[in-house]
Amino acid sequence: MTVTEVHIDEMMTPYPDKVRKNRKKHIIIKSAESAACPQIEANTRTIPGIISQRGCAYAGCKGVVIGPIKDMVTITHGPIGCGYYSWGTRRNKARSDDRTPPEKIYTNLCVSTDMQESDIVFGGEKKLAKMIDEVVAIFSPRGINICATCPIGLIGDDMGAVAKEAEERHGIPVIAYNCEGYKGVSQSAGHHIANNNLMERIIGSGTDPRTEEFVIYLLGEYNIGGDGWEIERMLTDIGYTVNCILTGDSSYEEIKDLHFADLNLVQCHRSINYIAEMMKTKYGTPWLKVNFIGVNATIQTLRDMATCFNNPELTRMTEVVIERELARITPALEKFRKICNGKTAFAYVGGSRSHHYQYLLRDLGMEVIVAGYEFAHRDDYEGRDVIPTIKTDADSKNIPELHLTPDEALYQEAHLHLGLSKEQYDTIAAQVPLGDYEGMYPIMRVGRIMVDDVNHYEAEEMIRQLKPDLVFSGVRDKYISHKMGVPSKQLHSYDYSGPYAGFNGAVIFARDVADALVTPAWKLITPPWEEKNGNRSDSDA
Amino acid sequence: MVIGVIVMLECIPRKAIDHTVGKINPAKTCQPLGAMYAALGINRCLPHSHGSQGCCAYHRMALTRHFREQVLASSSSFTEGASVFGGAANLKTSIKNIFEIYNPDIIAVHTTCLSETIGDDLSTIIKQSEVPEGKVVIHANTPSYQGSHITGFSNMCRGIVSYLAESDGTQKKNRVNIIPGFVNPGDVREIRRIVEEMGVESVIFPDTSGVLDAPLTSRYEQYPDGGSRVEDIRDSGNSKLTLSLGSFASDAAASLLQEKCGVPGIPLKLPIGLKATDALIMALKEAFGVAVPRSLEIERGQVIDTLIDTHHHYQGRTVAVFGDPDTVIALTEFLLTMGMVPKYIITGTPGSLFEKQIWEMLAEVGLTDCRVKADADLLDLQLWIRESPVDLLIGTTHGKYIARAEDIPLVRVGFPIFDRAVHPLMPIVGYRGCLRLIEQISNTLLERRDRDSTDEDFELVL
Ligand code: SF4
Ligand code: SF4
């Protein structure tokens, strides 16, 4: 069934006028293959009272970007909850390596100042300072992050000053992130705040240039379920030096050296494009939009990377690895493809996965009929070209923009980072997404829907109307979908499976999706003593 | 690159540690989560979080992970403006939108750190809001910089009573109110079954059964057929007696019922374990003059039989117990009944009553070499264990890091349990709950024995 504006209008009838007017702007139906993407409203306030999927700036800063840095202790400055909920709940895996020994890994800890009423009344600065001292004494970490929660800004604690003093006392970086949950309109504000601080405080502070060849950093990859490790495996086989995955399994030690990159790869554009752009400005480092989700997408990305370096050996090895991996995974993938083929899905999560997973689903013969992001901006739907036209509103204004200039000693033109001539670089830039992201729109088929900041009511209505075979969502929507009789997989946490990236990941994903579709209980919902009419009664409602 | 694995919590040094401020690996979370859980125990209720949307997202996530059920709740979605100028407009808009779009019978609003710090006056804002005929909006203040999620649960229970319970001043009905505390829906079902077996009519609230253990059928219900009905809660003011199970979670609501509607209350432990279940049954028997049915006598006898038959699996073994105060208090009593040695007993929730009650129970059996702490965290517990280990851990999912780091088996009991399933449906209260606990504890210790025994000591029958 294709959807028309009429369906959308019908769905919105119960909405109060203001809500209807607002929500209409967040929903786009693709009208024709060639049509340019109509403007979608995104990154604007969630309507009070609406059951949204969105989280807060703290979640985006601490939970997403900062928390995974394994050799820094992250202190949540606030009452207990915020730190507690972001403890061990995101599956950003970490392990020790030659730069970070096991005793310097803190990702399994939850450290919170656990503010009490007296701290709210008299301020929490002293408590924070004391906690930093104790954390240093107990763990002697390489650095400390302090993430603010909602009350902090309000009571006026000066975290920056506390951090600065602590830095002087202990001689390690202590970084304050003013990521109070009410800033911006979603997690997205927190990504930006985290990016700014990493750029200002850590990136560029390393002093030993990397001497290896083809040094790349993978930005916006959080190593959920070990995705980053699977990507690293392929890239290392081809001959790249993967210096660091940011921020999954990353360390302060590695992030320091980010400016020695030959090329930055951007997986999740939403959460990390600020660093990619700022590095381009400050160091001239080029960035390439990549996607390691999906077999064909991975192959395309590997070829794009080889194109960037324009090195015969790298190009040869790229094809060797592709061929080897394809030969290995194709039979397994085929088995699951038979089950998945022709099925439809919804995907609404995050700020990039709803796009990336469409490639992997197409590999399996599945199609996404409704896709949306939780906290994306217009460029994630419409492509980066629209950025200059995005208006800043009151909510985005309170996130600082860093205005960087080229670093006098370290700035190099992008082509020099890749060892290319200017002409070569320009030719290549026309072929691959260097410094560019096209957004989700191009991959959507005609009649399919993009919906921004989808809420519970809309999700439920669309499931009822369009009857997808599977819903990809976060944990909060998963069981709603199940109760509606539709299998669901979590795309944030992979239902504790994974990796889903790269070649091995594609097979694991295909298996998990097939399992969800065919688990026998789906056929047993109607008890034998009730009349079977083939259809679930709620789908007729 | 040399790739290693993290040795679990290797970062915690083996040396004397000063840990005097804040929490490292907490054993509690914040008030609104408990308030949201309590509100879900009302039929056709939408919990509403008055603050930034992040809190609500987190609370829903945590509850969803524990119960593997949909948890619907809305938020006032504060932005910076609301944080500066107050959230009245956001709450009024929310109430209007919620009734129009989600059509609940009742909205239960709780605050967050943010709205508490701002000082929004919820009673007034609610009075000024448009509430459709026949619908209700209630609220509880739940500042997370006090207490824990259990305090939030207690505050919402109290809020429920304060807004809803009424006494019509006539003679009290021959009926018991039960405030079951922060327990799983399976536990509420079991408590109801026991009360029914005793032949006593009851009003149970909050009752999360049917809501957070809802069946998957061919019909989707946004508000599943479960939870305490608003009219029943209203009528609780006309009951003859209230039994509040667990002092931290339930006593405040019971005292308010007494104060407001003149319903006398008896505070009891959560009915976890033999003695606490006996106490519940005795309270019902005495207050309502009913006889204990044969069916419950049989269940009790089965517990005694099992305890005697299996005591050699666990008697004398040392345990560290951690979790929510009411659960841990009752559990500790049962561990003592089992003849085990609860060596370390902590809760993350502050409150000196916890330590007092535990020490009294320990003193009764002459145990002095134990450590008990309220407002503790799991780092405290781990450091004690490193000084002197125990045979078994009993507590929530977050204990698994200690279990792995210190190589001690963990029996999962309480909230939250994120890494195992089915537990919300399986009661640990009542006599049947005793059997389940004995089975879990025995089996866990025996698994360990099988795992650790040498080939020549590996035995078929245990
Ligand atoms: S801000 Fe307060 S209410 Fe919100 S999650 Fe944090 S501790 Fe809980
Ligand atoms: S209190 Fe603020 S920072 Fe904490 S979870 Fe809620 S919205 Fe986020």
ipTM: 0.95
Cα(A118) to centroid of ligand 1, in Å? 16
Query: Hey, whose CA ends up nearest to atom 6 of ligand 2?
Result: B55
Average pLDDT of chain A to the nearest whole number:
93
Note whether B438 and B303 are same-domain residues: yes
Q: Please, what's the b/e burial string for B400-434 (b: 16 or more CB within 10 A of its CB; e: otherwise)?
A: bbbbebbebbbbbbbbbbbeeeebbbebbbbbbbb
Q: Which two tokens stand for residue B91?
A: 């709450």
Nearest CA to ligand 1 atom 1: B113
Residues B107 and B228 in one domain: no
Residues pairing with A245 in the sheet: A218
Q: For A107, phi and psi rounded to 5 degrees?
A: -70, -15
CA-only gyration radius of chain A, Å: 24
Of B158, B62, B61, the C-alpha closest to B110 is B158
Residue A476: Cβ within 10 Å count: 24
Q: A509: closest CA among A305, A297, A239? A: A297
User: Rounded to the nearest whole angstrom, what is the distance from the C-alpha of residue A416 to the centroid of ligand 2?
Assistant: 44
Per-residue pLDDT in tens (0 to 9) along chain B, 462 residues: 445 555 678 999 888 899 999 999 999 999 999 999 999 999 999 999 999 999 999 999 999 999 999 999 999 998 888 877 889 999 999 999 999 999 999 999 999 999 999 999 999 999 999 999 999 999 999 999 999 999 999 999 999 999 999 999 889 999 999 999 999 999 999 999 999 999 999 999 999 999 999 999 988 989 999 999 999 999 999 999 999 999 999 999 999 999 999 999 999 999 999 999 999 999 999 999 999 999 999 999 999 999 999 999 999 999 999 999 999 999 999 999 999 999 999 999 999 999 999 999 999 999 999 999 999 999 999 999 999 999 999 999 999 999 999 999 999 999 999 999 999 999 999 999 999 999 999 999 999 999 999 999 999 999
Residues of A in contact with B62 (CB under 8 A): 85
What pLDDT sits at residue A2? 66
- Per CB-CB distance under 8 Å, the chain A contacts of B80 are 182-183, 394-395, 398
Give this prediction's pTM.
Answer: 0.96
Question: Is B262 a member of any domain?
Answer: yes
Q: Could you read off the pLDDT of A213-264 as tens digits, one per residue?
A: 899 999 999 999 999 999 999 999 999 999 899 999 999 999 999 999 999 9
Residue B308 and residue B444 in one domain: yes
The rounded distance, in Å, linking the Cα atoms of A513 and A343 is 11
Looking at per-residue pLDDT, the higher value among B412 and A538 belongs to B412
Instruction: Give the separation between CA A2 and CA A29, rounded to whole angstroms.
Output: 10
| Cα A1 to Cα A464: distance, rounded to the nearest angstrom | 12
Instruction: Find the Cα–Cα–Cα–Cα dihedral B109, B114, B117, B123, rounded to 10°.
Output: -20
Residues B282, B329: one domain?
Answer: no
Asked if B249 and B157 sit in the same domain, the reply is: no
Give the domain range for residue B56.
31-164
Chain A nearest CA to B147, separation (Å): 9
As a whole number of angstroms, the distance between CA A158 and CA B356 comes to 39
For residues A312 and B252, give the distance between their C-alpha atoms in angstroms, rounded to a whole number: 75
A386: which DSSP letter? G
Ligand 2 atom closest to Cα of residue A58: 3
Measuring CA to CA, how many Å separate A90 from each of A77, A372, A438, A505, B129?
20, 20, 27, 18, 38
Same domain, B55 and B71: yes
Domain of B136, CATH number, reads 3.40.50.1980
Domain tally, chain B: 3
Find out whether A193 and A65 touch, Cβ atoms under 8 Å: no
User: Is the domain of B446 the same as that of B370?
Assistant: yes
Determine the 3-state secondary structure of A376 from DSSP.
Answer: coil
- The domain boundary, picked from B242, B266, B294, lies at B294
Chain mean position to CA A372? 13
B92 domain residue, yes or no: yes
Domain end (from B248, B265, B294): B294
Domain limit, last residue, from B262, B294, B326: B294
On whether residue B227 sits in a domain, the answer given is yes
Q: Is B24 a member of any domain? A: no
Q: How far apart are CA A118 and CA B429, in angstroms?
A: 37
Whether B26 maps to a domain, the answer reads no
Radius of gyration of chain B (CA): 23
**B318 domain-assigned:** yes
- Residues of A identified as active-site: 56, 59, 90, 191
Could you tell me what percent of chain A has a pLDDT over 90?
A: 88
Which numbered atom of ligand 1 lies nearest the CA of B49?
A: 3
The domains located in chain A, with CATH, are 57-202 (3.40.50.1980)
Question: Is B144 a member of any domain?
Answer: yes
Task: Classify residue B19: in a domain, yes or no.
Answer: no
Pairing of strands B173-179, B239-245: parallel
Contact B320, B371 (CB under 8 A): no
Same domain, B316 and B288: no
Question: Does the distance separating the beta carbons of A50 and B74 come in below 8 Å?
Answer: yes
Closest protein CA for atom 2 of ligand 1? B113
The dihedral region occupied by A220, where left means phi > 0, alpha psi between -120 and 50, and beta the remainder, is: left
Other CB atoms closer than 10 Å to residue B352's CB: what's the count?
9
What residues line ligand 2, using a CB cutoff of 6 Å?
A: A 56, 58-59, 82, 149-150, 181; B 52, 54-55, 58, 112-114
My answer on whether B433 and B288 are in the same domain is no
Question: What pLDDT is stored for residue B399 in this prediction?
Answer: 97
What integer pLDDT is reported at residue A532 of this predicted model? 61
Please provide residue A312's backbone torsions phi and psi, each rounded to the nearest 5 degrees: -60, -40
Report the pLDDT averaged over residues A414-436.
95
Q: Say yes or no: B130 and B180 in one domain.
A: no
List of residues 6+ apart from B384 with CB closer than 8 A = B320, B344, B371
**Is A117 close to B78, i.e. CB distance below 8 A?**
no
Q: How sure is the predictor about A521, in pLDDT bands with cuts at 50, 70 and 90?
A: very high
User: Looking at the structure, do residues B240 and B304 belong to the same domain, yes or no?
Assistant: no
How many alpha carbons fall within 13 Å on the CB side of residue B6? 22
Chain B CA closest to residue A188: B54
* B192 and B134 part of one domain: no
